[in-house]
Structure 1
């Protein structure tokens, strides 16, 4: 099995857990991590639309972990502005540590409940 196959299996396994745990009224906070940046978006799976998003070059602050925390805070602010407080965290194929954990912690501090 290649690394890509392992990552895909992990991603699909985690997505299935999120769908089972999530109530339909809770949007999914999806995380994508590239080598330089981190992106996050709130997705309403019932309609297939993106509610809010944050990430990329605009929120580059200090090191990568600081940037991830800035993305989490920005996403929380955008979500609360749209009236969303409760979400389900979808980490995808990434382990819950480092940048992904920093983003989640900052989103919690910003007012999101998951």
Structure 2
């Protein structure tokens, strides 16, 4: 990536994070990271700086069920898994942090599956 692309990505990520902190009101943050091959999700308590729950397409629980970590099916499975783990950790209300990614495709699929799994955002 060129330095201009990196700078724009960092600026977009900071803008999203700033907006999230403004509306969080003490809720945990559901952070999404995607690469060309995998997708990751974490529920983070920013007041304590602790990860409460995490899931990724590399987890052994889910790896057998998905063909690739880079498709909408994998994102849907990760969304359901992160919701299940977050509810088990006692978190129901979160704010969704899409990072620098558009709310489209895999990111949207993960968010919708997490909502179906019991998370409110």
Q: CA deviation at 1:56?
A: 2.6
Q: What residue ranges of structure 2 are gaps of 5+ in the alignment? A: none
The one of 9, 13, 16 equivalent to 2:15 is 13
Alignment coverage as a number of residue pairs: 113
Q: Which residue of 2 aligns with 1:57?
A: 58
Distance 2:58 2:21 in 1: 30
Structure 1 residue 67 corresponds to structure 2 residue 67: no
The secondary structure found in structure 1 opposite 2:40 is strand
Q: CA deviation at 1:62?
A: 3.8
CA RMSD of aligned residues (A): 1.2
Q: Which residue of 2 aligns with 1:81?
A: 88
4+ aligned runs moved over 2 Å, structure 1? 56-60
Q: CA deviation at 1:57?
A: 2.2
Q: CA deviation at 1:44?
A: 0.2
Which residues in structure 2 correspond to 1:92-111 (within 5 Å)? 92-111=99-118
Q: CA deviation at 1:2?
A: 1.1
The TM-score normalised by the length of structure 2 is 0.89
Distance 1:84 1:57 in 2: 23
Distance 1:5 1:98 in 2: 24
The secondary structure found in structure 1 opposite 2:54 is strand
After superposition, what is the alpha-carbon deviation per residue over 1:51-88, rounded to whole angstroms, capped at 9, x for unaligned? 00000323341451100010000000001111110000
